[in-house]
Amino acid sequence: MAKADCQKHTIIIIGAGPTGLTLAKVLLDNHMSIIMIDANHEGIGGGVRDSIFWDKDKLKLGILKKHAELLNHPRFRYFGGIEVGEDRDVTIEDLQQVAPVILTCGSRGHKQLPIDGADAEGVWDANVLVRILNTRWLLGRTKGPAAEEALERPYVGKKIAMVGMGNVVADTIKHIATLDNREGCGREISVLVRRTPFASKIAPAEMKWILGYIDKSKLETEIKRILPYLIETDLDIPEQKELKADWEKDNASYQHNLEIILKALKIKIDMFNEMPDSLNESQTRVDFKFATQIKKVDQADDKIKGIEITQKLVGDKSSESRLDCDTIIMSVGSSVDEQLGLDHDNGYFVSDGKNDFLLKGENNIFMAGWARQPSVGLAGVATKEGKKAGETLAPLFEAIEDETKSLGSLTETEKMVSDLIVGVAYPDWFNLATARHRLQQEIQGNQVMSFVTVD
């Protein structure tokens, strides 16, 4: 057999996101065989498919197309719609008896803030909400408005408290604006930011997109409220000097203060000047509360009634208040999935001291991408990580002794995995051929689609 075709070790990769797909390619290039398992019923892509905003077709398809060839590789097998974990379709413990396992399953556990009521009904993890809404909009586009309507809409009330200040906050605002647009109503969103405007991680393009929903007068009132705090508190940021110098001149320099803060928020002053003074009640309206910590979710009759907050003031003073809301959306990052049944610490899997990709205390469970570093980096970072992990792990797998089961032929290993999931109603409608066919449909149609079936 020619070297390029010869089967070496078979590796199980859990997760078909950009990390797993890139890693698979590197290992295939190193003559290994891959069995990929993914929980998603729609197809490969992971966060590229289900988390990145639904209509960013160019970005999403651009990444998916790069991996299309993988689905035709003779040493690649795929099990879609299979969830790995305890009390799920198959456990890691069982899989690791068959072959080395690499976790590239992202960080799909919920990071919960330690406050009363954080687990109440009506408190959303932004990442989960975004995934559900992405499917909804894609389904509407693929199969029409009736199909979209038939898919149950996640409950999002009319007055929302959103916690965080990164790109996922901006994405969630975009989704809610889409929801409002479809329903012809206007929701009110208060973005609660623990730190100052200088800690904002919203990218300029995302800010530009949501600018039309920001209530200008409320933003300016909040900037005036926070200004003394920004000047008097030691923030260890260069902009503070500028703010202070202006402040000491006199009020005439407020305009410059405003510009500095807007710049931190990625809002150019001319864009700000062009914003309408007030927004229409029937559209999405966004305001910000900085240096604001959430303390407790108020509930009555199993419904969210509000959220108790503390706002920092000058010195070590603070003020306590309550914000009326019926929905809370937390965008505070993510953690690894506890239900995988592996040791974790503070939302992370712990790595072996010598090899970042190996799980501590294990010899055949590895991790990469968001599974290794929850919520870190965009898809490009995940791709780089997949490549690095592949290059690091390939020599290690190569060195595995012959007598281990991982050296079984691909067909044999595939059969062992199939046997493990027999009886869990493996959806045979979702195999490699289906994944390939769906991706081809998307590439030909030049758009990402949803294939969810609704009654």
Ligand X SMILES: Cc1cc2nc3c(=O)[nH]c(=O)nc-3n(C[C@H](O)[C@H](O)[C@H](O)COP(=O)(O)OP(=O)(O)OC[C@H]3O[C@@H](n4cnc5c(N)ncnc54)[C@H](O)[C@@H]3O)c2cc1C
By CB under 6 A, name the binding residues for ligand X: 14-20, 37-40, 46-48, 51-53, 56, 83-85, 104-106, 108, 127, 130, 168, 171, 337, 369-370, 377-380, 382
What minimum distance in Å lies between the beta carbon of 55 and ligand X?
Answer: 11
CB-nearer residue toward ligand X: 170 or 410 = 170
CB-nearer residue toward ligand X: 77 or 108 = 108
First to last CA, the chain: 50
What minimum distance in Å lies between the beta carbon of 68 and ligand X?
Answer: 16
Alpha carbon separation from 400 to 21, 36, 284, 366 (Å, rounded): 22, 20, 57, 14
Closest CA to 64 of 89, 42, 84: 42
Half-sphere exposure of 1 (CA within 13 A, CB side): 7
8 A C-beta contact, residue 136 and residue 54? no
What minimum distance in Å lies between the beta carbon of 430 and ligand X?
Answer: 12
| Long-range contacts from 391-398, C-beta under 8 angstroms, 24+ separation | 391/26, 392/355, 392/356, 392/357, 393/23, 393/27, 393/102, 393/357, 393/366, 394/26, 394/27, 394/30, 394/32, 396/355, 397/8, 397/9, 397/11, 397/27, 397/30, 397/32, 397/100, 398/8, 398/9, 398/30
CB under 8 Å to 143, separation ≥6 — which residues?
Answer: 450
What minimum distance in Å lies between the beta carbon of 134 and ligand X?
Answer: 8
What minimum distance in Å lies between the beta carbon of 190 and ligand X?
Answer: 20
Q: With b meaning 16 or more CB within 10 Å and e meaning fewer, what string describes 424-434?
A: eebeeebebeb
8 A C-beta contact, residue 202 and residue 169? yes
Burial class (CB in 10 A: 0-12, 13-18, 19+), 231: middle
Closest CA to 439 of 426, 449, 430: 449
Residue 384 amino acid letter: K
What minimum distance in Å lies between the beta carbon of 51 and ligand X?
Answer: 4
What minimum distance in Å lies between the beta carbon of 234 and ligand X?
Answer: 33
CB-nearer residue toward ligand X: 15 or 117 = 15
CB-nearer residue toward ligand X: 60 or 216 = 60
Torsion sign across C-alpha atoms 199, 204, 62, 64: positive
What minimum distance in Å lies between the beta carbon of 42 and ligand X?
Answer: 9
Residues pairing with 188 in the sheet:
159, 285
Q: What is the distance between the alpha carbons of residues 15 and 20, in angstroms, rounded to a whole number?
A: 6
CB-nearer residue toward ligand X: 83 or 242 = 83
CB-nearer residue toward ligand X: 40 or 257 = 40
CB-nearer residue toward ligand X: 67 or 187 = 67
What minimum distance in Å lies between the beta carbon of 97 and ligand X?
Answer: 17
What minimum distance in Å lies between the beta carbon of 18 and ligand X?
Answer: 5
CB-nearer residue toward ligand X: 274 or 338 = 338
Phi-psi map region of 375: left, alpha, beta (phi>0 left; psi -120 to 50 alpha): left
Query: Residue 300: which H helix or E strand, with range?
Result: strand 292-300
Alpha carbon separation from 343 to 62, 237, 362, 365 (Å, rounded): 36, 38, 10, 12
What minimum distance in Å lies between the beta carbon of 14 and ligand X?
Answer: 5
CB-nearer residue toward ligand X: 171 or 298 = 171
CB-nearer residue toward ligand X: 89 or 298 = 89
Half-sphere exposure of 443 (CA within 13 A, CB side): 15
Length of the chain: 455
CB-nearer residue toward ligand X: 134 or 364 = 134
